[in-house]
Amino acid sequence: MKKLIKNFASAAALSAVALCTTISAVHAADWPNDNIRLVVPYSAGGTTDLISRKVADLMQNELGNIVVENRPGAGSTVATGQLARGGRGADHTILMASPGHAIGPAIYPGLRFNPVEDFKFVKKVITIPNVMVVPANSPYNSLEEFVEAAKNKEVTFSSPGTGSSVHMSGELFKNATTTQMVHVPFRGSGEALPALLAGDVDVSFDNMPTVLPHIQSGKLKALAVTTPKRSPFLPDVPTVSEAGEQYGLKGFNTSAWFGIVAHKSLPDEATTKLIDALSNVMEGKDFNEFLPRFGAVAGTESGDEFRTFISSEVGKWAEVAKKANIKR
Amino acid sequence: MDNFSEVLNLFLSIDNFIAIAAGVLVGVIVGAIPGLTATMAVALALPFTFSLEPVTAILLLVGIYKGGMYGGSITAILIRTPGSPAAACTLLDGYPLAQQGNAKKALKTALYSSCVADLISNIALIFFAGYLAKIALNFGPPEYFWLICFSLTIIVSVSGDSVIKGLIAASLGIIVSTIGLDAVYGSQRLTFDSYDLMDRVSFIPLLIGLFAIPEVFEFYTSKIVPHVRSAVSGASLSFSEFKRCLKSIIRGSLIGVVIGAIPGTGATAAAFISYSEAKRNSPRKDKFGKGEVEGVAASEAGNNGVAGATLIPLLSLGIPGDVITAIILGAFMIHGLTPGPVLFQENLTMVYALFCGILVSSAVLVVVGNTAIRYFSLIAEIPKSILLPIVLMFCVYGAYAVNNSTFDIGLMLLFGLLGFIFNRAGIASAPFLIGFILGPMFEDNLRRTFLISKGDPSIFFRGPITWLFVSLTIASLAFAIYRYWQSRRATYPSLKKTRCIISISFYRSSPYAPCVQGEGGSHSLLNLNFKGPKHEKRFHL
């Protein structure tokens, strides 16, 4: 009798697995067979929200109705944690990930998700470089002059908040150059920018769209861009990597990036559909007209490449946070 | 002349007028609903502007902003539920007026003072944007620090009958404001490892909880509820009353303009400062908090004075002064425009067309506001047994909608309980709110100042702006102490011969701890020495 029950249980379990697989396969073939939910892990109206809504708008032609939903909290980790938990509707939910996806685990203790293992990585959509800027009346005219000065005296760098990509860029720079840089956090760019323009802080590694108008109007001096390649918006400005090679800055790469991730259970066929849809959108005129407005360039990594990028970011920021003693 | 006709061509389109009217109307309605703020409405309207012409898109958002700023006062007056944070000050006198059967008077006062302030703010934007933007750039952390110190002195004005109780409430507000992550080191403070508390206590649930929920608790716990008709049919605002308030309205508008031009301070602080100044200068100061029309006028002038002025740093410097202007900045960027000096060089026609629209929005606000009063004031006729459950429903929805978080509903109820206890203990809720808003600003700017000066406290006195606010802070404190002393002398005649000696001295004990040395080697900021014929009492603050 026991054997019968055991066999029956095994058969039932196998049938269930088979049934689930079949359902999953059917779902994958028909995907999407429901509205797609694009979760924005920040408040409505911000840069992430704007980019998400534009991308959702353009993707609707390829994938049907996409509903954008804002779920802000704890530097994007609340929304990311919710997606990682999965549950009902997870197979039709995607998330607009940003640097917070990789920085969060470095600074928030006890997160109940793994930023790499719990997700399927679709495609990086946009990269916005950060720019190393100093006020117009600053004595520093190049990265070299700045580093030499900062090795001998304390200098300050501002950011729109502790744990932001702007802050972490500064910490990474400080670690690599072993300079005496002190972080001055503000609450948002609206507060940080006036302090920089007025010369109350010495330097910032702010996002391109925030500082570009002030560089163009001569109120700020751009010393370097933080991406591996020079920005088409500031072609004469060197990269941190090329200008600071002698200070251990070779390979320096930080930026604000935005990319689509999904729950790890998303079938491969669905992931491929999403990648194809995004690729089509990113080749389109609308998207390419939209990019320059944010001083952005299109992302290139998708699938496993995107996963490798996130994985390296997670490792990089964990080390920076540890050295900077940022642990929440 | 060509430019002028270009501006008119760009502005005089039916789309622009529809956008302004629709924006103001949506703003007033959303602003009046508890929990639904103008910020939320502007953010939600943003995607709809993608396909509009740039001028039309911006005017729609600006319309919502201005409408929302006024709309918040409607429910603050009628049901003691500020529709927006900036309207929290309006209920101090607006709600008592409504309870006395003068809801119409309060609503009209709020509307006309809002419109006048809005107009003054717009004129400041159009004619003095350049000068005010320069002042804004001179506001660094030390200047902010003193501005916040000055703003904290308004706690005395909104403490009701007991300053001590007001200070207790403000201190509690400051303590609650420290919950979250430390701004400099990122360490957790009073979060109990809860992710919901790491981004600080959410403002909207706190606001709704503190002001609206106690009314609900009060209704269901009181055995006898007096049937108070808020009587929209009651007396309206007379011209002589408006004339009496005009001085406070203009003063409040100017305060709003200055606060609005400085990024990061906000309309709520402007409303409270304006209210406090009006109370200090009014011959009817004793009536403030008990249903004084001038109180409503001053607070509404303060918060609406900010509306146009926040566009000053945005348009002239590309710096958003608050969340709403940050969203409007996004709208500019979506349309390929970059606010800042370049905008004035490359798109001057568009800027002037925007100015025309912004001026028209002030007039539209009068029309929409009057219509809204007519319909919204019907709320006052609804019996409380029907009205309060509906209010509670909106409160729950509003608290949830901010972050799509059920945790925030719990927070709202918790602060509702606190507000209820405050009411029963005779403690005013406004100082709690001020402490909650200004506490983090005080701490952040103090720490930033020490960080940028590398610990040198002389930076606190680095220029005329810091000295101006140091003087205002001391004057405001001295005035408050003088008033307190006067009221004590009136209550206790034996104190008549008592003199009050105030001494302030600065002493630096360490680079990071500016202290003050009083008599006998005590370390305190302010020493009060009361000397009477038979007694002597010393206080060290």
**B395-407 per-position pLDDT tens digit:** 888 888 777 788 8
Asked, for residue A274, whether it belongs to a domain, the answer is yes
Asked, for residue A28, whether it belongs to a domain, the answer is no
**A54–chain B nearest CA distance, Å:** 8
The pTM of this model reads: 0.77
Return the minimum-mean-pLDDT range out of A70-79, A204-213, B63-72, B369-378: A70-79
pLDDT of residue A83: 85
Cα(B87)–Cα(B303) distance, integer angstroms:
8
A214 and A118 in a single domain? The answer is no
pLDDT value at B518 more than 80: no
A133 and A241 in a single domain? The answer is yes
pLDDT band at A21 (very low <50, low <70, confident <90, very high): very low
Q: What percent of chain A clears pLDDT 90, i.e. is strictly above it?
A: 18
Return the minimum-mean-pLDDT range out of A243-247, A294-298, B234-238, B276-280: B234-238
Number of domains making up chain A = 2
Tell me the mean pLDDT in the region B257-281. Answer: 85
DSSP B485-541: HHHHHHH-GGGGG-EEEEE---EEEETTEEE-B-GGG-B-S-EEEEE-SS-EEEEE-
Q: Of A195, A216, A247, which residue is a domain's last?
A: A247
A171 and A278 in a single domain? The answer is no
A133 and A234 in a single domain? The answer is yes
We report the CATH number of the domain holding residue A114 as 3.40.190.150
A151 and A218 in a single domain? The answer is yes
Question: Taking CB atoms and an 8 Å cut-off, how many pairs form between chains A and B?
Answer: 157
Give me the amino acid identity at B296.
V
Q: Of A226, A247, A268, which residue is a domain's last?
A: A247
Please state whether beta strands A203-207 and A155-159 pair in parallel, antiparallel, or not at all (unpaired): parallel
A210 and A268 in a single domain? The answer is no
Residues of B in contact with A188 (CB under 8 A): 264, 320, 326
Q: Are A173 and A252 in contact (CB under 8 A)?
A: yes
Contact B47 A57 (CB under 8 A): yes
pLDDT of residue B480: 79
To test the contact with chain B by mutation, choose from A156, A184, A203, A204 the residue with the greatest count of B C-beta atoms within 10 A, namely A184
Contact B326 A156 (CB under 8 A): no
Cα(A64)–Cα(B428) distance, integer angstroms:
53
pLDDT of residue B130: 77
Return the minimum-mean-pLDDT range out of A266-280, B112-126, B485-499: B485-499
Q: Are B435 and B170 in contact (CB under 8 A)?
A: yes
What angle (nearest 5°) sits at the alpha carbon of residue A199, between those of residues A197 and A205? 65
Please state whether beta strands A297-298 and A119-135 pair in parallel, antiparallel, or not at all (unpaired): antiparallel
Interface check for B226 against chain A (CB to CB < 8 A): the answer is no
Higher pLDDT, B515 or B99: B99
Residues of A in contact with B261 (CB under 8 A): none
pLDDT of residue A184: 92
Q: Which among B183, B319, B403 is the nearest to A194, CB-wise?
A: B319
pLDDT value at B357 more than 60: yes
A159 and A236 in a single domain? The answer is yes
A115 and A194 in a single domain? The answer is no
Residue B496, number of CB atoms within 10 A of its CB: 10
Contact B195 A43 (CB under 8 A): no
List pLDDT tens digits, range A49-75. Answer: 888 888 888 888 888 888 888 887 777
Q: Which among A44, A45, A217 is the nearest to B342, CB-wise?
A: A217
pLDDT value at A135 more than 90: yes
* Tokens, residue A263: 């729950």
DSSP A284-318: SHHHHHHGGGGT-EE---BHHHHHHHHHHHHHHHH
Q: Are A229 and A239 in contact (CB under 8 A)?
A: yes
List pLDDT tens digits, range B272-299. Answer: 889 988 888 888 878 888 888 899 999 9
* Tokens, residue B266: 């906000």
Give me the amino acid identity at B277.
E
> Measuring CA to CA, how many Å separate B449 from each of A99, A200, B149, B152, B460?
29, 9, 14, 18, 8
**CA nearest to A153 within chain B:** B454
Q: How far apart are the first and last CA of chain A?
A: 56
Cα(A34)–Cα(A270) distance, integer angstroms:
13
Coil vs helix vs strand at B283: coil
**CA nearest to B333 within chain A:** A293
pLDDT of residue B527: 56
**CA nearest to B48 within chain A:** A53
Contact A187 B43 (CB under 8 A): no
Give me the amino acid identity at A155.
V
A212 and A283 in a single domain? The answer is no
**B145–chain A nearest CA distance, Å:** 13
> Measuring CA to CA, how many Å separate B330 from each of A51, A109, B58, B361?
10, 32, 10, 21
Coil vs helix vs strand at B84: coil
Question: To the nearest whole number, what is the mean pLDDT of chain B?
Answer: 81
- Residue listed under structure tokens 């769209």: A209
Q: Which among A54, A110, A184 is the nearest to B452, CB-wise?
A: A184
Q: What percent of chain B clears pLDDT 70, i.e. is strictly above it?
A: 87
pLDDT of residue A156: 93
Question: Does ipTM exceed 0.85?
Answer: no
Tell me the mean pLDDT in the region B115-143. Answer: 85
Contact B405 A327 (CB under 8 A): no
Contact A191 B43 (CB under 8 A): no
pLDDT value at B514 more than 60: no
Q: Are A37 and A94 in contact (CB under 8 A)?
A: yes
pLDDT of residue B251: 92
A178 and A213 in a single domain? The answer is yes
* Tokens, residue B521: 């080697």
Residues of A in contact with B39 (CB under 8 A): 45
Stated length of chain A? 328
pLDDT value at B511 more than 80: no
Q: Are B282 and B41 in contact (CB under 8 A)?
A: no
Domain range for A164: 129-247
**A16–chain B nearest CA distance, Å:** 35
Cα(A31)–Cα(A39) distance, integer angstroms:
18
A137 and A106 in a single domain? The answer is no
B183 closest CA partner among A186, A32, A37: A186
Asked, for residue A25, whether it belongs to a domain, the answer is no
pLDDT value at A149 more than 80: yes
Asked, for residue A91, whether it belongs to a domain, the answer is yes
A239 and A319 in a single domain? The answer is no
Q: How far apart are the first and last CA of chain B?
A: 63
List pLDDT tens digits, range B389-433. Answer: 888 888 888 888 777 788 889 999 999 999 999 988 888 888 898
Beta-sheet strands, E only, within A98-227: 119-135, 155-159, 181-185, 203-207, 220-225
Q: Which helix (H) or strand (E) holds B354?
A: helix B348-376
Residues of A in contact with B313 (CB under 8 A): 190, 194
**A7–chain B nearest CA distance, Å:** 45
B378 closest CA partner among B64, B27, B69, B74: B74
Asked, for residue A154, whether it belongs to a domain, the answer is yes
Cα(B116)–Cα(B118) distance, integer angstroms:
5
Coil vs helix vs strand at A208: helix
> Measuring CA to CA, how many Å separate B507 from each of B87, B137, B460, B515?
40, 30, 13, 5
Q: Of A191, A223, A247, which residue is a domain's last?
A: A247
